A = this chain, B = another copy of it.
């Protein structure tokens, strides 16, 4: 079961795609039942696959070579994501473990040498775990500027007070990167007087309390935590990047991150598509396989179109970003289009599987709630639809016209 090289794509990227596919097809998907159950049986399987991934030079596509990663560019990583996402278990086995991976990238970009030594290296080696503490229950998640958690500079320390939730991995984490609001050093004309800063906070800091695990989709024992910060004190050198860079860092995370997320969704759509097609060819119902039923044929045709559209839009957006163009409108477009297409494709695949489709025996149920969550995470559809329109109006007002987007 091999995929073909994409004509016109750099050989290196095609090579990464094909070798990643081989591992996902040969090693990970066959092991999914064990990996889903988890526990002791899964441990050696995971270890063996990780070893193989490292031997193949496919470990940690998000990290530079000097930190043990692949050191590949944006496009290669995006295309690799599509292939990895055929299985929900892949990313972790290729060394990309959220939220650690995102934190690693932030530390790489904004961290001082001391910070890298103290927090990044143990995070990469696995000696430490981390979390990213941004979303707040009382504010629209879509707007980092609405954040209320406040850091006040007192002498050599930051004093942090605030209320966060959906801080994933908090119970396992050794430190959090906390998005805070703080006073701007020098007031700038016409700007709000506050600015954003990210601060590294050890989880055992006095005043940091994990209130509970927020149950998500009914899973009460997850690790998406609600946390209160009450007069939490950390040294000033724990600020990540200069004061004021917090917003840019978050956007950064969200910007390229959105393309990566979309490529993940597209990979998952291919998997759902494959399951739907395979099921249709094998499942007998009243007088024939599902393959012969127009409703199922329609599901497959519509899903093919959804995947093609989602994929071409995402790749086009990635290409524009890679060439340094202004992709903001297209990033919002894929942020809206791809999760919705993902949801439709998985919905059809579930319908073709019947009761099996909502069980844990396939990855479909998880994809379905995952796709739904994507429609509101990192800015809900509505916010991004407004952004698209505003960019169009701006383009027109600057003298542009219907060449928009060509």
Contacts and interface: CB of A to CB of B under 8 A. Distances in A.
Interface of A: 1-4, 6-7, 21, 86, 135, 137, 140-143, 146, 165-166, 214-220, 270-271, 273-274, 277-278, 280-281, 285-286, 291, 293-298, 300-302, 304-305, 307-309, 311-313, 316, 323, 329-330, 332-333, 336-337, 347, 350-351, 354-361, 365-366, 368-369, 372-373, 375-377, 380-382, 384-390, 392-393, 396-397, 401-406
Main secondary structure on A side of the interface with B:
helix
B291 A294 contact: no
B281 A396 contact: yes
A22 to B, nearest CB: 12
A247 to B, nearest CB: 15
* Copies of this chain assembled into the complex: 4
From A295, A350, A356, A361, residue with most partner B Cβ within 10 Å: A295
B216 A365 contact: yes
Contact of A376 (B3, B218, B358): B358
Given A216-B359, A277-B393, A281-B396, 9 more contacts: A165-B355, A218-B366, A291-B393, A295-B295, A300-B389, A304-B329, A305-B313, A307-B405, A351-B381
B301 A298 contact: no
A289 B287 CA distance: 18
A397 B3 CA distance: 15
Given A7-B323, A396-B277, A358 B354 contact: no
Nearest to A340: B305
B140 A386 contact: no
Contacts of A302: 385
A336 B254 CA distance: 34
7 contacts: A215-B359, A216-B358, A219-B219, A277-B396, A294-B294, A298-B389, A304-B392
